[in-house]
Amino acid sequence: MKKGIIGYGGFGREVYNSLDLTERVGLKFFVDDEWYNKKNIDCLPLSQFNPEEYEIVVAVGNPVEREKIINRLPKNTKYFTHINKTVQILDNNVEIGEGSIICAGTILTTNIKIGKHTHLNLMSTIGHDTVIGSFVTTAPGVKISGNCNIGNRVYIGTNASVKEKIIICDDVIIGLNTGVVKNIDELGTYVGTPSKKI
């Protein structure tokens, strides 16, 4: 079965370049029909996606948009999980859900659970005994300490840090360089150190 990437923006191209040469053979990008450009031979409109021919990842950074795309796909769609060869997984007790993308330089320590279709971007670090939900995105350089519980559809901005034993509810946006030192139990956007809702 050939591989496909849904999304042709910057993150989609980063994922493509992260794949081994053998994984790129026959690979196609798929985009929403309204964004389809016939001049690009490596790109097909999403209406032409065939789940019998391709297994895919959805390389769209926005967690909410990523979930919407996946909910529109056929029920028999198969997803591959991409873990860059430079990722450090420090023990065998790390679970990574289908369709997730773990980018170069990321470190996963021990006893970690990561949901489906989650993106851990470049140089993210996830501490021990942490649970990360589905459709989560960490931007480059995010640091999540041990014993944290991150909800679904959470976006954590570049170089943000999460203190140990923190719980973050679903549908939260954490701004870049933000320091999360208290639980977040209300959806919204949080910035600064200590983090505050705006």
The DSSP code for 110 is S
Cα separation, 29 vs 27, in Å, equals 7
CB 11 within 8 A of CB 61: yes
Q: How many Cα atoms are found within 13 Å in the side-chain-facing hemisphere of 47?
A: 4
**CA 29, CA 5: separation in Å to the nearest integer?**
5
Query: What is the per-residue pLDDT for 40?
Result: 64
| pLDDT digits 0-9 by tens, 105-162 | 999 999 999 999 999 999 999 999 999 999 999 999 999 999 999 999 999 999 999 9
Q: What is the pTM of this model?
A: 0.94
CB 186 within 8 A of CB 169: yes
In which band, very low, low, confident or very high, does the pLDDT at 39 lie, cut at 50, 70 and 90? low
Supply 38's token pair: 């016939």
What's 82-184's CATH class? Answer: mainly beta
Overall average pLDDT of the 16-33 stretch = 87
pLDDT for 50: 93
Query: What's the CATH fold of domain 2-79?
Result: Rossmann fold (3.40.50)
pLDDT in tens, 69-102: 999 999 999 999 999 999 999 999 999 999 999 9
Q: What residue ranges do the domains of the chain occupy?
A: 2-79, 82-184
Confidence class of residue 8 from pLDDT cuts 50, 70 and 90? confident
- Per-residue model confidence (pLDDT) at position 41: 61
Percentage of the residues of the chain whose pLDDT score is greater than 90: 81
Residue 36 has pLDDT above 80, yes or no: no
